[in-house]
Amino acid sequence: MTLSNYLKRRSSTIVFFPAVLSPNPKNVTATAKTNLLHFIEAIGSQKSWLEDLLLKSGAILFRGFPVESHFDFNDVVEATSFPPMEYVGGGVLRTQAAEFPSKLLLFCEVEPEEGGETPIVLSHMVYDMMKQSHPEFVARLEEYGLMYTRIMDRDDDPSSLAGQGWHSTFYTDEKIIAEQRAAKVGMRLEWINDGSDSVKILIGPKPAFRVDKSRQRKTWFNSIVVAHGGQDQRDNMVVQPEPVTFCDEKPLPTHAVYDCIKILEEESVAIPWEKGDVLLIDNLAVLHSRRPIVNSQTHTRRVLASVCK
């Protein structure tokens, strides 16, 4: 069964962001297992069509398919045949690492009661708008690049969006192994000898932009907002240094950072998760983040990620 038959396309002429694909009711069978097999087969047989759609839209949301568990999600990921990539450094650090994924797949295994959306935004639009509103800032970013600095505790702080510890970031208790894994993705670790078991992470110099060769345009590809504008010192037990600077160690202009935050908020599309959703993102064309869960006693949300080269 081909994907063009199995999926119901929302439009044949307008490019949606994200593109949304759902089952064609005419081809849905009685059992979820059979429908999942059809879905997986369709992904494999229609990969070129999917890649063309991803090139046009930047992101594809698969909604309404019987993807129930992490096992099902693994089958979906394998059906795409995208080369897998080791998940090291956490979501914030992927744009800062030496090697970054070209594609991301996200799967909602447990949907949040309220909140917990994943905002996505076209990164070339952010670049174009920032260049128009802050040409001198963009020119300095081009010339000097960025240096990221962060202090991490050993353990996670679940109350903070930026509360990931180095233990879970590098999947080890051993400092030597953490250093080795950090070096593989272009990070340097400096251990803080104050009894806290904390570490300073240094990343840079890093470019603030990337060239999207397939679309022939520059994209905004950095963590300025997350590392600088989105940080709240109250969220962490440790006092953070200036989290991101130009590589000449001069600080970023605050007004430009907050204008970037405004652009990201105004131009983003927040995806409200439903159980079984699979979101395919072109990492060079689209920026993504997450919103906190609200009005929930359990703060439950389980979204799994697969990163691909």
The C-alpha atoms of residue 32 and residue 69 are separated, in whole angstroms, by 12
Mean pLDDT for the chain overall? 85
191 and 222, same domain (yes or no): yes
Q: Which long-range contacts (CB under 8 A, 24 or more apart) does 178-182 make?
A: 181/88, 182/89
pLDDT of 203 above 80 = yes
Is 146 found in the same domain as 68? no
For the segment 82-110, the average pLDDT, to the nearest whole number, is 75
pLDDT: which is higher, 12 or 283: 283
Mark whether 229 and 192 lie in a shared domain.
yes
- Say what the pLDDT of residue 300 is: 79
**Rounded CA gap, 231 and 235, in Å?**
8
**pLDDT value for 7:** 44
- Are 219 and 297 found together in one domain? no
pLDDT digits (tens, 9 = 90+) for 129-140: 999 999 999 999
* Same domain flag for 170 and 280: no
The segment with the largest mean pLDDT, out of 90-94, 145-149, 237-241, is 145-149
Please check whether residues 162 and 257 belong to one and the same domain. yes
Number of C-beta neighbours around residue 301 at 10 A: 21
- Look at residue 159 in the predicted model and tell me its pLDDT: 56
Six-digit token string for 51: 């890649």
Q: What's the alpha-carbon Rg for the chain, to the nearest Å?
A: 20
Q: Which domain holds residue 296?
A: 3-115+272-308
Phi, psi (5° rounding) for residue 291?
-105, 150
Are residues 103 and 127 located together in one domain of the fold?
Answer: no
Q: Does 256 share its domain with 193?
A: yes
Mean pLDDT in residue range 149-174: 80
Residue 91 has pLDDT above 50, yes or no: no
CATH number at residue 285: 3.60.130.10
Average pLDDT of the residues in 244-273: 94
pLDDT of residue 213: 95
Over range 218-238, report the average pLDDT.
Answer: 66
Cβ pair 23, 7 in contact under 8 A: yes
- pLDDT (0 to 100) of residue 88: 56
Q: Which residues of 101-140 are buried (b: 16+ CB within 10 A; e: fewer)?
A: bbbbbbbbbebbeebbbbbbbbbbbbbbbbbeebeebbeb
Residues 135, 40 share a domain:
no
Cα distance between residue 114 and residue 73, in whole Å? 23
Is 70 exceeded by the pLDDT of residue 78? Answer: yes
Identify the CA nearest to 191 among candidates 162, 219, 217, 170. Answer: 170
Q: Residue 263's pLDDT is what? A: 96
Res 136: pLDDT: 97
Three-state SS at 205: strand
In terms of domains, do 221 and 294 share one? no
Shared-domain flag, residues 195 and 243? yes
The CB-side HSE value for 305 (13 A sphere, CA atoms) comes to 19
Domains held by the chain: number: 2
Q: At what angle do helices 70-80 and 32-45 cross, to 10 degrees?
A: 20
Q: Which of 66-70, 84-88, 217-221 has the lowest mean pLDDT?
A: 84-88
Buried b (16+ CB within 10 A) or exposed e, 201-230: bebbebebbbebeeeeebbbbbbbbbbbbb
Q: Which of 83-92, 101-110, 188-197 has the lowest mean pLDDT?
A: 83-92
Residues in the chain: 309
Largest CA distance in the chain: 65
Question: Which pLDDT score is estimated for 99?
Answer: 73
Q: Is the dihedral of CA 191, 99, 271, 72 positive or negative?
A: negative
Whose tokens are 């046009």? That residue is 56
| Mean pLDDT in residue range 220-232 | 72
> Do 236 and 156 fall within a single domain?
yes
Q: What is the DSSP string of 38-71?
A: HHHHHHHHTHHHHHHHHHHHSEEEE-SS---SHH
Answer yes or no: are the C-beta atoms of 104 and 308 closer than 8 Å.
yes
Mean pLDDT value across residues 216-225: 93
Q: For the segment 295-307, what is each residue's pLDDT rounded down to a tens digit? A: 656 657 899 999 9
